[in-house]
Amino acid sequence: MDIYNFIIQLAAGFISTLAFSFLFNAPKKSILVCSVIGAAGWLAYYYVKLISGIIIASFSGAIIIGVLASSASKKLRMPATIFIYTGIIPLVPGYGMYHTMRSLVTKSYHLAAKIGIDTILQAGAIAVGILIASMFSSSIRRVKIQRKR
């Protein structure tokens, strides 16, 4: 966990999100924020994965992305989905999907089932993390509105 590895991971999350922000035609004023959100989610995923499993790491990264996306959407007055779609790109379990299909093609059905289930669980953890973060942000916003009255 040295500073060099931290910088590499930060750059990987930032650049991959930046590239997909352009690919998804995100509004120009949101691209930098999208990239920062993606990098933060990737760093959370990477460092949580070092101390726990990949499912918990995916969930943690998704929570960070969801909370930051909600905050950015309010500040920039844009839909949160702009920040969520681009931010989760580094977390998408493409490696697991590839190896599941590869195992199926090579007729390693037991391995394909194991990797496939892990991949589905990882994708589910990302979805639940985004959902919980969105619900949490909505609840806080609702409480703030009620206090103003």
127's CB contacts (< 8 A; 6+ apart) are: 62
With 0-12 / 13-18 / 19 or more C-beta atoms within 10 angstroms meaning exposed / middle / buried, residue 56 is middle
- Segments in 24-108 forming alpha helices (H): 31-51, 54-76, 80-87, 94-105
Q: What is the pLDDT of residues 110-146, one digit of tens each?
A: 999 999 999 999 999 999 999 999 888 777 777 777 7
pLDDT along the chain (149 residues), means of 10: 86 94 93 95 94 95 95 91 93 93 95 95 96 85 73
- Give the residue carrying structure tokens 């985004």: 130
Q: Count of CB atoms within 10 A of residue 14's CB? A: 21
- Average pLDDT value for the chain: 92
- Let me know: does 96 contact 81? Beta carbons within 8 Å: no
In this prediction, residue 136 carries a pLDDT of 85
Distance (Å, whole) CA 14 – CA 120:
25
